[in-house]
Structure 1
Amino acid sequence: MSAPAGVGVDRVGELTAVAAARWGDRECARFGEITLTFSGLHQWAGAIAADLVSRGVGRGDRVMMLLVNRIEVLAVSAAAWRIGAVAVPVVAIYRTHELKTIVRDCRPAAVVTAVRLAERCLADELDSCLAAAGIEPMARYLVDDDGPRGEWEPLPGRETPVPGLTLPDPSAPEQECLRLYTSGSTSAPKGVRLHSRSVIFGAEQFRHRLGIGEADTGLALAPVAHIAGLLAALLVPLTCGARAVLLPRWEVAAAVRVIHDERVTWSLGAAVFLKDMVEEYERRRVEGLHVLNFFVSGGANTAPELIERAQALGMWAARTYGMTEAAGVVTLAPRDAPLKRRARWDGQLADNAEARVVDEAGRPVPPGAEGVITIRGTQLALGYTDPELNRAQFNAERWFDTGDIGFVTADGWVRITGRAKDIINRGGEKFSSVDIEHVLHRHPGVAAAAVIPVPDERLGEAVCAFVVPRPRTPPPTPEQLASFMLTQDLAKAKIPTEWRIVDALPRTASGKIQKHLLRAAAVGKPS
């Protein structure tokens, strides 16, 4: 099977112009009743880009978006790319606890948000974080019409004419164009700096491996501020002419109905999405629903049986291995991969990607031997915003230490068997255990705390906290601890759902907590 033709550009800021010339008035994206053509996206992005430039925003400046899934994220990202600025979409689950760190690191020249999200006032939260960091953006935009609000102004709309303003050229292929914040082994969200070649390469892998093209419709079910959501909603459509349907939030019954009504053919995301869909399809098998054709499922948390159940429903599904640092795609199974491979391995290395498995001393091991997986290739990020992280995870030859343990066969098939990093992957959201521990330690009744991931049937991993109460005080209850964490503006998804109140934590002679013993205790296995 030959892949559909690509766009043939290597600067992400050129994508909307090329896509508009090729696919014009064909639908590019849909969000509820709102539709956007390829030409419409290009025109809207141009209007926003011109407004940004008129306010002084230019090359290399960061344009930060704090939004849930909305079609405006696509237009603002494309606008930033058009003028050589850096698009910085931020997941809206982050609250001021995380946003203060992101704002200080990002130092945005422009910010885009909504006034409200449920009980939260996002504009006020951003104002507070910007003031704390001493940052005065050149532009503050609101996507909802809630009347005047201080320094915030409405984002230029879809019908805004493009003024006759000369725009700067898009950034060069190897310059930063996209920054995504992801929690890892450190306590603060990490800023990952991606360039045009990396994000275009990542998007085109779905055309090369699965044959996604103009006849396809993708479902963006992950947050568009994630690399998975951004791929499905914007980057894959712009590189192959497919259309995208954005979900405002994940509700499996609504998603299955959208898949049926819009004849959606493909999607990608965490294993929890696939599990929910398979169970919904199995429950509603007699209704004659259109079943998703292809689903690419995030990695080792995807049980082989789930891939097999999807196959029985008529859905091609495959495990994959991806990360923000590699534009979402380290591996991807080809369309003709047999079921056994797709179910029990985490994909085949992407085009131009290299993997080297090393032992604890950093020495390469033979193909098929287990060790720490290091990678390099076109899709690899420029690095982090933190130089210390760059020194820790990139060597002089640009090999990136993934922190994941596994095997790589001679023909490039990868299987992940464990993780060296101390992070929790809850339904595709990656959180730092250390960050959660820091918040727990603020509680006046907590003497010590340790947080670990534990298996969860639906989400892959759940958050489990071991807590040592302070002596001579009533031990706090799990309910009290959870309520306290809510007051600390921590993302709700980080709050533990499993609790262990213990007398002491196991430690080494040097005082380091032995988390492997906690993991064994949490799942009831002998240490």
Structure 2
Amino acid sequence: MLHRVRAAARQLQDLGIGPGDVVALKLTNRVEFVLLLFGAAITPVNPSMTAVEVARQLDDSGARLLVVEDGAAVVASGVATLAIGDLYEEATLPDQAPHLDSSALALLIYTSGTTGVPKGVMLDHANIDAMVEMGRQALELGPSDRCLLILPLFHVNGIVVSILMPLLAGASVVIAGRRFDPHSFFDLVEQERPTFFSAVPTIYSMLAALPDEVRPDTSSLRFAICGAAPASAELLTRFEARYGFPLVEGYGLSEGTCGSTINPVAGARRAGTVALPFPGQEIRIVDVDDNEVPPGTDGEVLVRGDNVMRGYLGRPDETARVIVDGWLHTGDVGHLDAEGYLVLVGRSKDMIIRGGENIYPKEIEDVLVGDPSVLEAAVIGVPDEEWGEVVVAYIQPRPGLTVDPTALEARCEHSLTGYKRPTSFVVVDAIAKNAVGKIDKASLRAAHAEASASS
């Protein structure tokens, strides 16, 4: 493997790529992606993006080279393109020490863009080193571990948690190499015998919904990580009880090099919380004036540590707005309990204001997914002349089951005060997701507005 990393690095040199230059990787999950990670500053490109979106990222990042699958159509003029089939298999590098600069750009991750045009999150080698060491300590990783990569490598979770963290801890990685399929996933686990993997709540919902007769051998797994979006306590508890290995829920964002809090692997895990800060990180909860609030009080989540990004590429004003005195303003809303465990209640941009009352969708979604017929729920606010906004719930049923809206109304009436209860339930075959598997509420709101206008 080392000789292939060196060959890739030599090829980049031969193509004129030097320190500070950005290389864009428009690739599916494959070993060539990993080889190139160690040779240049990388900006991963979602392979499903349109030519317009790709061109925008290449232009914003200033990429010198675009690496694509064999046979891929040319998507950008003015940027050199390299097909993976043309990568060197063997090459020699000069006998010299590697170029070491912890402040040099390592990854340029573009945000999902749900709040506007995607921004380039600049992560340097010091950010990566800090995050890897934090993860190694928190997850107790070592050479005996084996990670199964199933998340896309165009996302920071896939790169950092499933590739760099295990490799730099001396562990091994298996790349699934195909689109996630819940029906074949445990066959892969039994074949490859990983000790851990990282996934999003949607994947765990799919696995939990498999037929009862599916009883795989999961004895190799020490734990699995659940991140990228909040998961309900009910899902975590039900999954662990069925499959026999712990789900360790974490929380983080690209601007924090992926992870900021994590439930301990061996210690007390609290379902429904995203737990405690990684070693070396701090969490604060503040009000709108940046004053720290007491435990149990909701406010914006702030993060500080060596994992916090260098900034947004070419956007100094936005960088200064979100990083203040070293504290990263996440835009997420939550509170700390008496023991310092972080409980998320939602994104500030997803908050619904009904008649002056603040409503956080996650509280309602947790109630709805407790119904045995519900696979996933997404709650949005829609405009209302009387109340400003009212609550609407989108529901995806479990395979083979039928949702009863009357039963959901009763469940909400039992668990939620009146103003938090959905005014309607929309049952759909599948809830819209963005490229990294998070529920796409912007898309839901837009579709709902269009449907309301046409009716």
> Normalised by the shorter chain, which TM-score bucket?
0.7 to 0.9
- Find the counterpart in structure 2 of residue 258 from structure 1: 188
Query: Which one of the candidate residues 308, 327, 342 is aligned to 1:380?
Result: 308
1:300–1:416 CA contact under 8 A, matched in 2: no
SS in 2 for 1:416: strand
Cα-to-partner distance string for 1:410-468 (whole Å, 9 max, x where unaligned):
6532111111136999xxxxxxx9xxxxxxxxxxxxxxxxxx99655589xxxxxxxxx
Matching residue's letter, 2:116 = S
After TM superposition, the runs of 4+ consecutive aligned structure 1 residues lying more than 6 A away are 490-495
Q: Distance in 2 between matches of 1:281 and 1:329?
A: 33
Give unpaired runs (5+ residues) of structure 1: 1-39, 81-85, 117-121, 145-153, 426-432, 434-451, 460-489, 506-527
SS in 2 for 1:355: strand
- How far did 1:381 drift? 0.8
SS in 1 for 2:332: strand
* TM, length-normalised to structure 1: 0.65
Q: Distance in 1 between matches of 2:171 and 2:46?
A: 24
Distance 1:365 1:48, change over 3 A: same
Residue 143 (str. 1) matches residue 84 (str. 2): yes
Query: Which one of the candidate residues 156, 165, 168 is aligned to 2:88?
Result: 156
Q: Distance in 2 between matches of 1:227 and 1:458?
A: 30
Q: Distance in 2 between matches of 1:68 and 1:388?
A: 34
Residue 331 (str. 1) matches residue 261 (str. 2): yes
- How far did 1:143 drift? 1.3
Matching residue's letter, 1:52 = L
- Find the counterpart in structure 1 of residue 197 from structure 2: 267
Distance 1:407 1:103, change over 3 A: same
Q: Distance in 1 between matches of 2:220 and 2:138?
A: 20
2:249–2:275 CA contact under 8 A, matched in 1: yes
Query: Which one of the candidate residues 13, 22, 29 is aligned to 1:69?
Result: 29
Matching residue's letter, 1:48 = A
Q: Distance in 1 between matches of 2:155 and 2:228?
A: 16
- How far did 1:212 drift? 2.1
Q: Distance in 1 between matches of 2:142 and 2:208?
A: 25
- Find the counterpart in structure 2 of residue 346 from structure 1: 274
- Find the counterpart in structure 1 of residue 5 from structure 2: 45
Q: Distance in 2 between matches of 1:291 and 1:304?
A: 24
Question: May I ask how many residue pairs the two structures share in their alignment?
Answer: 376
SS in 2 for 1:102: helix
Q: Distance in 1 between matches of 2:392 and 2:25?
A: 29
What RMSD in Å do the two structures reach over aligned CA positions? Answer: 3.2
- Find the counterpart in structure 2 of residue 367 from structure 1: 295
Distance 1:458 1:71, change over 3 A: farther
- How far did 1:329 drift? 0.7
Q: Distance in 1 between matches of 2:396 and 2:333?
A: 22
SS in 1 for 2:30: coil
- Find the counterpart in structure 2 of residue 517 from structure 1: none
- How far did 1:279 drift? 3.0
Task: Write out aligned runs for 1:22-37 (5 A).
Answer: none
- Find the counterpart in structure 2 of residue 211 from structure 1: 140
SS in 1 for 2:193: coil
- How far did 1:322 drift? 1.4
- How far did 1:299 drift? 5.8
Q: Distance in 1 between matches of 2:452 and 2:170?
A: 59
Distance 1:265 1:400, change over 3 A: same
Matching residue's letter, 1:156 = Y
- Find the counterpart in structure 2 of residue 124 from structure 1: 74
- Find the counterpart in structure 1 of residue 108 from structure 2: 179
Among all aligned residue pairs of Structure 1 and Structure 2, give the percentage whose two residues are the same amino acid.
Answer: 25
SS in 2 for 1:344: coil
1:179–1:192 CA contact under 8 A, matched in 2: yes
Q: Distance in 2 between matches of 1:224 and 1:185?
A: 19
Give unpaired runs (5+ residues) of structure 2: 352-360, 363-379, 381-390, 399-433
1:181–1:191 CA contact under 8 A, matched in 2: yes
Greater relative contact order structure (CA < 8 Å, 6+ sep): 1
- How far did 1:280 drift? 3.2
Q: Distance in 2 between matches of 1:363 and 1:229?
A: 35
- Find the counterpart in structure 2 of residue 237 from structure 1: 166
Q: Distance in 2 between matches of 1:353 and 1:458?
A: 39
- Find the counterpart in structure 2 of residue 150 from structure 1: none
